[in-house]
């Protein structure tokens, strides 16, 4: 009988860590935008828009991959409330990673501000009107979703560290190839 899988697939790892790196890039881009003025500030926003749409595309691929390829089961030692919290956190991550780029895209569309996808082509705007008022309302939702994402990131990291150092159940081994499995 074959040994059960104890690590996520290469595709799952690339999507997980790729999206994680892009989230960090987003934070750095907005921080740089807020610290500068003029054309450079606008360039940071334009790149932020492209990266956000890239995150949207990768998230949709990740959801499709997850539907087609069942994730690893949680460790047998996890309590029911931990399994529920992990499931809810992961699903809310997907919601946030879709809501954030969609609200940014919609806000740009409401004011007719172009989105040039990594300088390659004009990303189509959504058929949304409403001007600045609609864009401000959409950006309010965007900013609320950012706060929710930060909370989810906190739960995710603390949960992973708890599993690694307190529970010692090899959860980090599943997502970080360099961490050896415990004997």
pLDDT digits (tens, 9 = 90+) for 18-69: 999 999 999 999 999 999 999 999 999 999 999 999 999 999 999 999 999 9
* Residue recorded with tokens 């969609």: 102
Q: How many CB atoms lie within 10 A of CB 135?
A: 22
The span from the CA of 11 to the CA of 59, in Å, is: 12
Mean pLDDT of the chain: 93
The span from the CA of 39 to the CA of 61, in Å, is: 33
pLDDT at 5: 66
Half-sphere exposure of 72 (CA within 13 A, CB side): 17
pLDDT at 1: 46
For the entire predicted model, the pTM comes to: 0.92
DSSP assignments along 115-153, one per residue: EEETTTEEEPPPS---HHHHHHHHHHHHHHHHHHHHHHH
Domains and CATH numbers, the chain: 10-175 (1.20.950)
The span from the CA of 103 to the CA of 98, in Å, is: 9
pLDDT digits (tens, 9 = 90+) for 75-100: 888 999 999 999 999 999 999 999 99
CB 46 within 8 A of CB 118: no
CB 174 within 8 A of CB 159: no
Q: Across residues 133-156, what is the average pLDDT?
A: 97
């Amino acid at each position: 009988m074959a040994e059960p899988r104890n690590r996520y697939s290469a595709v799952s790892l690339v999507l997980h860590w790729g999206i994680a790196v892009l989230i960090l890039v987003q934070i750095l881009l907005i921080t740089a935008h807020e610290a500068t003025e003029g054309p450079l500030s606008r360039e940071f926003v334009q790149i932020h828009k492209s990266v956000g749409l890239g995150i949207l595309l990768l998230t949709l691929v990740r959801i499709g991959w997850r539907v087609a390829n069942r994730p690893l089961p949680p460790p047998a030692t996890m309590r029911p409330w931990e399994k529920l919290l992990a499931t809810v956190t992961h699903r809310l991550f997907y919601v946030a990673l879709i809501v954030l780029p969609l609200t940014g895209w919609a806000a740009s569309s409401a004011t007719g501000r172009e989105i040039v996808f990594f300088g390659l082509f004009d990303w189509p705007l959504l058929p949304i009107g409403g001007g600045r008022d609609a864009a401000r309302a959409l950006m309010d939702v965007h900013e609320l979703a950012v706060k929710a994402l930060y909370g989810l990131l906190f739960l995710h990291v603390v949960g992973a560290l708890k599993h690694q150092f307190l529970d010692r159940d090899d959860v980090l081994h599943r997502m970080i190839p360099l961490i050896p499995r415990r004997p």
